[in-house]
């Protein structure tokens, strides 16, 4: 047991009541909380030779004062203090704002330390920090997230706590792992993190913390998964694979190698004596839906009911119609349930579902409402799974006893992120696109080519095709010079008046209004759909072959790729035009990635590196862990090593049989108990 968690900060020698209150406000209750309250960055105050400094570089220098300081006030309580210092053979001017109280302390021949921005052309340093004595060891300064608490006072408490309780610190990692990777000890860790002497100590501390964080998380998820397999037994689904093979052969197309591989993984899962919990990720149009339908058929052969939940009514309706078409020669009862189905029709569906007369039901959030009861639910499939919360998916799963679950996502997640965020799931990827599908041609243009763009729209619609136009804003903004949906809608409506119908879709419309506009587009009653990013994900409009994204630099790469995936759904050539008046080469380089590849996996990797994992998961409920130091992008090598070690530790059962792993095992057990709601 980690004793530090049981020792309250009140037991620190000499700590004041006010300091205790400050620490409590920071969420620091125990000595453990205090020691693990890591800095989020470090300030470098290492003294450098000014002759090697670059223009506008942040520098720390020690020099001798050459001139008496001059200061004057300007504005209310604002001052400017200037003096010159000698650095080796160079005289540099120091400019310090609001430091007039130092005027009488700074005198000729005094050695001072100055940190600030070096303006090489002007031969001056704009001081950020000014010390009237040379630094000794205080050259690297940890920076903490502190509310109304000065860093110096915080570090004084930290120093006292380390001195008083350092001998009680428990080592969670086995010595064999510490030796294998030459990691620093836990005692050295706290010293190096909070009181580093040099950057090598910080590097060693970060290396240790990152590995430990990633290893512990992987082990937690693997232990949890293993327990579910052992504790939540199910009756293995029994079906004849030859029937499934015959069904696949009767499809109007051949499965790709990836589709066949993922199908086999799912069928094997369904025959195992524990719940399936699998994520299938793949690009728009890669064929995830067909794999899901094959899974529903195998589930039907096992005499279980199947359920497919989609985020919108129009997408649920689309799946329903596709299912009926796919199984038209089979005696399978398929029904649709959405919030629009009410009264007698809804009552009959609910009765038939409970009585087992319905084999497969497709629907929206309506499926998780009260009164929806199954006779023998065996498989749930959640399409666009990121559009549903953890609790919503859980409610659907609990509609039956020990139900297999399949989650579909058209937003490919890089392997480094999937290894961590979905450590409790089996992850399958469909990267190969069906044969005959033409790659979407993507071009990057600026707004000055608008006339040519309109002419291209005209050409596309004359060929009986339809067009999406996406904008980042609904209405005009005084703060942003960006195109907006209403402005573009009015402009296009005027330009194409009497020739083509233009529709408008955005988040301020009611759900019924959105459904109506989208339905009109599906039926080609609208030829040009101007929309914000609420444009329905997953809806098949086979006739749409042109996607225009205005102010494309305002979107992430993964989002742009998702939007692009709304076209290219048929065998006709499709196009995506990115319109952007980008201001720098970095933005152009980012957008150019879309013009060079159609692979969502490659784009996801690039987007993750450029923007970080925040845009992939918006909240804690997504399953993405919060680490103190580990970074899922930069530390993917450590992540993969930690995962391999975790697999070895679980497979060899060392976690539970080797005494050396006792502390690590205890830590993981406690974490699972304390954070059970995160893993439900």
Query: What pLDDT does residue 46 have?
Result: 74
Q: Is the pLDDT of residue 622 over 70?
A: no
Give me the torsion for CA of 398, 402, 404, 407, rounded to 10°. 30
Tokens in use for 395?
A: 């409610």
What whole-number distance in Å separates Cα of residue 26 and Cα of residue 155? 14
Expressed in angstroms, the distance from the first to the final Cα of the chain is 25
Query: What pLDDT does residue 508 have?
Result: 82
What whole-number distance in Å separates Cα of residue 20 and Cα of residue 29? 9
Per-residue pLDDT tens over the stretch 100-136: 788 888 889 898 888 899 998 889 999 988 888 766 5
Residues near 385 by beta carbon (within 8 Å), at least 6 away in sequence = 279, 393, 407, 408, 409
Query: What pLDDT does residue 125 have?
Result: 92
Per-residue pLDDT tens over the stretch 134-187: 665 557 889 898 888 888 899 999 999 999 998 898 899 999 999 999 999 999
pLDDT band of residue 395 (cuts 50, 70, 90) is confident
Average pLDDT of span 605-632 = 61
pLDDT band of residue 599 (cuts 50, 70, 90) is confident
* Maximum average pLDDT range among 123-127, 466-470, 503-507, 607-611: 466-470
Query: What pLDDT does residue 206 have?
Result: 95
Query: What pLDDT does residue 678 have?
Result: 45
Q: 510: exposed, middle or buried (C-beta count within 10 Å: 0-12, 13-18, 19+)?
A: exposed
Per-residue pLDDT tens over the stretch 232-288: 778 889 999 999 999 999 998 899 999 999 999 999 999 999 889 899 998 877 889
**DSSP-H helix ranges across 463-556:** 485-495, 511-522
- Please give the helix or strand (H or E) that residue 354 lies within, else none: helix 343-355
Per-residue pLDDT tens over the stretch 338-351: 988 889 999 999 99
Tokens in use for 505?
A: 């879709």
Query: What pLDDT does residue 477 have?
Result: 61
Average pLDDT of span 539-567 = 88
Per-residue pLDDT tens over the stretch 408-436: 988 777 666 676 667 667 889 898 888 87
pLDDT band of residue 623 (cuts 50, 70, 90) is very low
Query: What pLDDT does residue 619 have?
Result: 36
Instruction: Quote the crossing angle between the two packed helices 151-165 and 186-194, to the nearest 10°.
Output: 160
- pLDDT more than 90, % of the chain: 49
Query: What pLDDT does residue 573 have?
Result: 93
Query: What pLDDT does residue 351 have?
Result: 95
Query: What pLDDT does residue 147 have?
Result: 83
Least confident range from 505-509, 535-539, 658-662: namely 535-539
Mean of pLDDT over the chain:
87
* Maximum average pLDDT range among 296-310, 371-385, 386-400, 656-670: 296-310
pTM of the entire predicted model: 0.68
pLDDT band of residue 482 (cuts 50, 70, 90) is low
Q: Is the pLDDT of residue 526 over 90?
A: yes
What whole-number distance in Å separates Cα of residue 542 and Cα of residue 572? 9
């Amino acid at each position: 047991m980690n004793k530090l968690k049981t020792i309250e900060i009140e037991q620190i020698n000499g700590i004041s009541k006010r300091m205790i209150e400050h620490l409590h406000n920071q969420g620091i209750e125990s000595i453990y909380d205090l020691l693990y309250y890591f800095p989020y960055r470090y300030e470098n105050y290492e003294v450098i030779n000014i002759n090697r400094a670059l223009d506008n570089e942040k520098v720390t220098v020690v020099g001798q004062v050459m001139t008496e300081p001059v200061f004057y006030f300007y504005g209310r309580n604002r001052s400017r203090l200037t003096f010159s210092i000698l650095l080796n053979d160079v005289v540099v001017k120091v400019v310090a704002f609001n430091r007039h109280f130092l005027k009488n302390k700074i005198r000729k021949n005094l050695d001072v330390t100055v940190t600030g921005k070096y303006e090489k052309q002007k031969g001056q340093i704009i001081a950020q920090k000014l010390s009237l004595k040379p630094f000794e060891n205080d050259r690297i300064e940890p920076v903490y997230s502190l509310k109304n608490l000065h860093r110096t006072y915080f570090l004084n408490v930290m120093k006292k706590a380390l001195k008083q309780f350092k001998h009680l610190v428990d080592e969670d990692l086995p010595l064999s792992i510490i030796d294998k990777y030459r990691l620093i000890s836990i005692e050295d860790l706290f010293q190096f993190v909070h009181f580093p002497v040099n950057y090598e100590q910080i590097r060693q501390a970060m290396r240790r913390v990152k590995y430990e964080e990633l290893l512990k998380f992987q082990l937690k998820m693997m232990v949890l998964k293993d327990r579910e397999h052992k504790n939540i037994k199910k009756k293995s689904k029994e079906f004849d694979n030859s029937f499934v093979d015959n069904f696949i052969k009767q499809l109007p197309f051949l499965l790709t190698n990836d589709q066949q591989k993922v199908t086999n993984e799912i069928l094997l899962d369904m025959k195992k004596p524990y719940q399936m919990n699998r994520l299938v990720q793949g690009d728009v149009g890669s064929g995830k839906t067909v794999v899901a339908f094959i899974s529903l058929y195998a589930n039907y052969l096992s005499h279980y009911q199947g359920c497919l939940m989609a985020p919108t009514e129009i997408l649920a309706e689309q799946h329903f119609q596709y299912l009926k078409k796919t199984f038209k020669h089979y005696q399978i009862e398929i029904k649709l349930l959405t919030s629009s189905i009410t009264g007698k029709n809804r009552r009959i569906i609910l009765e038939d579902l409970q009585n087992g007369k319905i084999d497969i039901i497709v629907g929206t959030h309506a499926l998780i409402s009260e009164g929806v009861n199954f006779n023998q639910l065996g498989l749930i499939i959640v399409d666009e799974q990121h559009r549903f919360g953890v609790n919503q998916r859980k409610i659907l799963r609990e509609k039956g006893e020990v139900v297999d679950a399949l989650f579909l996502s058209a937003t490919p997640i890089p392997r480094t992120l999937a290894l961590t965020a979905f450590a409790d799931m089996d992850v399958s990827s469909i990267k190969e696109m069906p044969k005959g599908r033409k790659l979407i041609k993507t071009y990057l243009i600026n707004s000055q080519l608008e006339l040519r763009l309109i002419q291209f729209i005209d050409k596309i619609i004359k060929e009986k095709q339809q067009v999406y136009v996406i904008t980042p804003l609904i209405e005009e903004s005084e703060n942003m010079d960006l195109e907006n949906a209403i402005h573009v809608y009015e402009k296009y409506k005027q330009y194409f008046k009497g020739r083509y119908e233009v529709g408008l879709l955005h988040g301020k419309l009611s759900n019924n209004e959105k459904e109506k506009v989208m339905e009109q587009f599906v039926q080609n009653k609208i030829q040009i759909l101007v929309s914000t990013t609420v444009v329905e994900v997953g809806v098949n409009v086979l006739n749409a072959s042109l996607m225009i994204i205005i102010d494309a630099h305002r979107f992430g790469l993964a989002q742009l790729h998702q939007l692009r995936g709304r076209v290219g759904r048929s065998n006709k050539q499709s196009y995506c035009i990115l319109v952007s008046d980008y201001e720098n080469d970095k933005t152009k380089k980012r957008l150019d990635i879309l013009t060079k590849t159609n692979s969502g996996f490659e784009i996801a990797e690039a987007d993750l590196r450029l923007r970080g994992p925040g845009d992939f998961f918006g909240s804690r409920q997504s399953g993405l862990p919060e680490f103190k130091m580990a970074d899922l992008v930069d530390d993917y090598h450590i992540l993969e090593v930690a995962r391999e070690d975790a697999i070895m530790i679980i497979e060899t059962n060392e976690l539970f049989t080797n005494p050396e792993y006792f502390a690590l095992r205890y830590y993981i057990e406690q974490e699972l108990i304390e954070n059970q709601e995160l893993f439900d």
